[in-house]
Amino acid sequence: MIIAIDGPAASGKGTLAKRLAEHFALPHLDTGLLYRAVGRVALDRGLELDDADATAEIAELLDVAELDEARLRGREMGEAASIVAAHPKVRKALLDLQRRFAHQRGGAVLDGRDIGTVIAPGAEVKIFVTAAPEIRARRRHLELEKRGDAPPYEEVLADIRKRDARDAGRTDAPLKPAPDAHVLDTTALDVESAFAAALLLTNRHKD
């Protein structure tokens, strides 16, 4: 069973994907980490994130086993990921890697922005997780506060809106729900309520 979880930044898709993977004992891949890793390597090498060829070369050699999640979190890397993800060459380089993960024996849970539309359009379960920008910004701000890396809330909200526009407006694999995806709005839901709703949707297809 392949479970595809998509949605904009700070919608809660990553938390839901991890919980579902644990519940069904399936491997999980946060595909956003791949783009963050490409951005991280580019910045470490002093390269421009707008350099499509250089970032695509990094993407082609990326090893999932070597992802250092601790270095890939934070506001700066989220912005970097959004920039490099807009390059069609980078997306193409990471496409096969993600598809192999999705179609491994037994299935998998993947979260990102184009899982249900591009990476695994045949996934048995597709959930598009969303929430109001103000709520997502509040969640992200709280997360950054816990890490001691929080700018003013207004800056986080502006960043969320900028990333939404970039992700939805790119020509290659824009952020949008798959035609057969279930849209799960978490604006008024806490983590447990959101998980219960996602689990209900998943079980309908599983059974």
Residue numbers in the known binding site are 7-15
How high is the pLDDT of residue 207? 56
pLDDT of residue 104: 95
pTM attached to this predicted model: 0.87
Please give the pLDDT value at position 139.
93
Q: What CATH number corresponds to the domain at position 157?
A: 3.40.50.300
Classify strands 182-185 and 28-30 as parallel, antiparallel or unpaired: unpaired
Residue 91 CB partners (closer than 8 Å, separation 6+): 85, 114, 172, 173
Strand partners, 129: 184
pLDDT digits (tens, 9 = 90+) for 26-43: 999 999 899 999 999 999
Number of domains within the chain: 1
HSE-CB at 55 with a 13 A cutoff on CA atoms is: 29
- Binding residues for ATP are 7-15
Strands (E), the chain: 2-6, 28-30, 108-112, 125-130, 182-185
Using 50 as the pLDDT threshold, list the residues of the chain that sit under it: none
List the domain range (segments joined by +) for residue 22.
2-206
Cβ proximity of 196 and 186 under 8 Å: no
- Model pLDDT, residue 115: 96
